[in-house]
Structure 1
Amino acid sequence: MSVTTLPGRRPSPDDLLVLLAVARAGRYTAAATELGLNHTTIARRISALEDALGGRVLARGAAGWVLTPLGEHAITAAEGVERALGELAPDRPRLSGVVRLSATDGFSGFIASPAIVAVRREHPDVSLEIVSTTRRAAQQRVGVDLEVVVGRPHVHRAEAIHLADYALGLYASRDFLARSGIPASPAELAGAPLVYFIESMLQVDALDEARTPTREMVDAVSSTNVYVHVDATRSGAGFGLLPAFLADRHDDLVRLFPDEIDQHLPYWLVCRPEALRQPTALAFIEALRARIAAVEDQLLGRPRGAAEAAF
């Protein structure tokens, strides 16, 4: 006589922790590395959890594994197990783990990097992985906990939070202006060399619209990396449409026409709902907000006219 195991038996806490790791990493291999297991064990644990719950907890997405509705329900229990285990080790730092962030180059360097330093002063077992990219918010956040994008995102099954605004201005190096002359008005910029993003590859509407005051200029150096924009402008490649918080740090750059060319763009944070329940992610978000508050004036640029007066 055979005995059939019915779904609905109590799931294993270990299996729930495996699900949590896969949900955060998006891949069995990455979860296996984090937990010190092999791929086969991860697959077996997930299968056992699905047998216990009576349904699928993961589904294949475009870039990895994503949670099913049943999986999202199970994640709440998994996070409870994780918290309970953390409370059993009072002598260790309260927070540990990896925060995975996708963000633009400028935000990653100027905001995110100092923020994780602040977190690690108190919680040295927390680390940050950054995927640096300039794109629209992904519809499926696989392999990342948090995304920072430019422009208001349109996403489903995700939380979107406005973080800050930053200013784009037109800059040129002192040497370039000495050679080429200082334009008297924005109208004189027609045909002048511009340093900015590659127009055909730009996926972010807000960054494309920010180029409006410079439409009559000619691309001289184009790149997907904003730090290339800054360095090319400093080298004299042309006029750079640059974030003020990056350009104003360089005394060899001069901001031109700050009254006429002063584009403000928003940074938005996008995250999976379960990420907002992760203590490590919450600590990092708090540190992001603190860093943004500390550098708000730099994000929005110098007082208007200060750069021209300094030339």
Structure 2
Amino acid sequence: MSTLPRFDWSLIPSFLAVLDAGSLMGAARALDAQQPTLSRHIAQLEAQLGVALFERTGRGVQPTAAALALAEAARQMAAGAEQLGQQLLRRSQSSQGKVRLSASQVAASHLLPPLLAELQGEEPGIQIELVATNAVSNLLRREADIALRMLRPQQAGLVARKLGELSIQACAHRDYLARAGTPRRMEELAGHRLIGYDQNEAILKGAAAAGLPLTREHFGLRTDDQVAYTQLVQAGAGIGFLASFLVRDTPGLVPLLPELVTPKLPVWLVVHREIRGSPVVRRVFDFLAERVPERL
């Protein structure tokens, strides 16, 4: 099938202007261009297409049957170019700026880094300030632009989207299991080195809900620092309870006791209503809303 060599799309606006105005002079006024320029454009387009598009008359120009047959396709092309231009404009406006993102220590250390690296590859002009904190950043006071939370915000003025649920998995490093053996039943946990929280009672409550009454003294290692907690499990210090995505993605960690189901934590992405319309904030929000559920 033969094709037009190096078709010049830039000639289409001139063609449509002459078609709509009915004269070169009227088209020149509409485009704020010179009449000889438009005449040259029409001649170039006719040469590329190999057909006459207009017949000169005393009052202007008359479109030929070929011009009328091409008109609809030309208008669709012009509309597509306008749409593309608007998309490029919006993208250029959203690709520059700074966004402050707040997340828990585990999310900031393990969940978000590969996603933010991907975002930087797509949007090198966006600067991300990542705040790793287990405290709930106050978006109303603009301590952060976007927050990844494990509870739904109740304050008015915030917009929240639930991204999924985070499950907690009992696990241990294979080196620990090689030394101490692998528990096959929940009751066997009491005979193992357990890693728990210090002041936080989430693990104790989760175990109790699963029918396993553990006390603080069952946990020979305790810390509320999520990064230190993760490192203790990875170091083979004992059996711990980590986010399922972290167990899945960390070499050497082995999931244990699938029947030990702890309450799942909802994951919310939150933004202040007033800055949701900011193109750069919206770009980061939409990116995380799409990609975080895949990681979970």
TM-score (norm: length of structure 2): 0.59
The 10-residue stretch of structure 1 (132-141 or 166-175) with the greater mean CA deviation from structure 2: 132-141
Paired residue for 2:97?
97
Contact 2:103 2:130 in 1 (8 A): yes
Shift in Å, 1:97: 1.2
Relative to its length, the structure with more helix (as a share) is 2
The structure-2 alpha-carbon separation of the partners of 1:275 and 1:163, relative to structure 1 and needing over 3 Å to count, comes to: farther
Aligned-partner residue type, residue 153 of structure 1: P
Contact 1:139 1:156 in 2 (8 A): no
Paired residue for 1:23?
none
Separation in structure 1 between the aligned mates of residue 134 and residue 224 of structure 2, nearest angstrom: 7
Paired residue for 1:216?
214
Aligned-partner residue type, residue 135 of structure 2: R
Question: Runs (4+) of structure 1 moved beyond 6 Å?
Answer: 205-208
The 10-residue stretch of structure 1 (240-249 or 213-222) with the greater mean CA deviation from structure 2: 213-222
The 10-residue stretch of structure 1 (165-174 or 139-148) with the greater mean CA deviation from structure 2: 139-148
Aligned-partner residue type, residue 99 of structure 1: V
Paired residue for 1:190?
190
Separation in structure 2 between the aligned mates of residue 136 and residue 144 of structure 1, nearest angstrom: 10
Paired residue for 1:226?
226
Contact 1:116 1:287 in 2 (8 A): no
Separation in structure 1 between the aligned mates of residue 154 and residue 288 of structure 2, nearest angstrom: 22
RMSD: 3.0
Contact 1:134 1:149 in 2 (8 A): no
User: Identity across aligned pairs (percent)?
Assistant: 27
Separation in structure 2 between the aligned mates of residue 119 and residue 252 of structure 1, nearest angstrom: 28
Paired residue for 2:240?
240
Unpaired runs of 5+ residues, structure 1, are 1-86, 300-311
The structure-2 alpha-carbon separation of the partners of 1:159 and 1:246, relative to structure 1 and needing over 3 Å to count, comes to: same
Shift in Å, 1:247: 1.7
TM-score (norm: length of structure 1): 0.57
Counterparts of residues 1-311 of structure 1 (less than 5 Å)? 93-94=92-93, 95-136=95-136, 138=138, 140-190=140-190, 192-198=192-198, 200=199, 202=200, 209-210=205-206, 212=208, 213=210, 216=214, 218-295=218-295, 299=296
Paired residue for 2:41?
none
Shift in Å, 1:134: 1.6
Shift in Å, 1:223: 3.2
Contact 1:141 1:272 in 2 (8 A): no
Separation in structure 1 between the aligned mates of residue 138 and residue 181 of structure 2, nearest angstrom: 44
Contact 1:195 1:238 in 2 (8 A): yes
Shift in Å, 1:257: 0.8
How many residues in Structure 1 have an aligned counterpart in Structure 2?
204
Local SS of the residue matching 1:154: coil
Separation in structure 1 between the aligned mates of residue 204 and residue 276 of structure 2, nearest angstrom: 31
Separation in structure 1 between the aligned mates of residue 253 and residue 181 of structure 2, nearest angstrom: 14
Shift in Å, 1:128: 0.5
Shift in Å, 1:209: 4.8
Separation in structure 2 between the aligned mates of residue 251 and residue 163 of structure 1, nearest angstrom: 26
Paired residue for 1:55?
none
Separation in structure 2 between the aligned mates of residue 273 and residue 159 of structure 1, nearest angstrom: 6
